[in-house]
Amino acid sequence: MIKLLDDIVFEDPQSRIREYCEIEICQGYDDKHGIDDNITRGDIDAANELYAMIDVYDKSESKRLLSNSNLSILLSSIPNIDIYAVSSKEWVGLRSKIEKLLVEFLSIKGIGLAKATKILHLKRPNLIPILDSFVIRFLLDVNISDEEKSSHVNIGLQALDRAREIIIKQRVAFEKLVEQIRDLPIQLTPVRMCDILCWTAEKWDIRGIHNAPMESPINLYSRHQNQKRVKLQLPREQRTPMNTLFLKISKEPLVRKYITQIASITRDGLAIQLPQQHGTDLMNLKKKLGRFVKDFH
């Protein structure tokens, strides 16, 4: 059992981590750690696999990141140490170094806390979790998009403090979780599993954004509108990760040609109707879509 907040408790965190790894992005990101002091094009590409969207709206963002030599200098002073292994006294100094690094990252035009930490987790996977808007909202009850940019570094540090507190208080549970998922092809650190639990609790359970399959029921204590502790038994259901699906299939010429012929999106998956005459091409495409496609004609 892992408690994230007083009223948010995962009875079976292993199931949630496995579920996330099955339906969200792991390969292409969590297997791309580069534990050194240099921000590279590979780091940016991996962060974009996790929807960092660097260069999407401004083609110069990556150029500004790669040309900032201060990032490497500041990063070199921060070790890849397990966040739970840092004493309170050591944390004061280390936190100050992380603050300077975040200030430098966020001083770059177009780079916010989510983009910064998606890169920094790759460089220091044992120390820095991903702090996007879902995780920030869950940990601090703050909508970061409503806050002044000047406050974002402080918000990020508060969230980091909170994640560290959660992991330290439940170190044994997180160490057990590491062992329980050791069979997965891509290994996750405690800070990464912490941000995954926070992210899915906020997105899937609190906001009810169900765009991924729920493989098995998970007992979760969730916040209720009247702030009472209510134990929820999440229902067994099928949810299609539509963003991931369309990103993967949109590059296929066949799909681009006939995308307007998508027949229906149902709670059981995606049904696509395409002309029969494409024969082998359709069969190959069906294999690529795999389990995401319920009915392919």
Question: What digits encode the pLDDT tens for the residues 278-287?
Answer: 444 445 554 4
User: Is the model more confident about 164 or about 223?
Assistant: 164
Band (pLDDT 50/70/90 cuts) for residue 87 is: very high
Q: What is the pLDDT of residues 266-280, one digit of tens each?
A: 333 333 334 444 444
Q: What is the pLDDT of residues 202-234, one digit of tens each?
A: 999 999 986 644 333 333 333 333 333 333 334
Q: Count CA within 13 A, CB hemisphere, residue 41.
A: 2
Give the pLDDT of residue 211: 62
Q: What is the pLDDT of residues 2-47, one digit of tens each?
A: 999 988 999 999 999 999 999 888 899 999 999 999 999 999 999 9
Band (pLDDT 50/70/90 cuts) for residue 289 is: low
Q: Calculate the average pLDDT of the chain.
A: 80
Helix, strand and coil in the chain, % to nearest 5: 55, 10, 35
**Residue 227 zone, left/alpha/beta (φ > 0; ψ -120 to 50; rest):** left
Q: Is 54 helix (H, G, I), strand (E, B) or coil?
A: coil
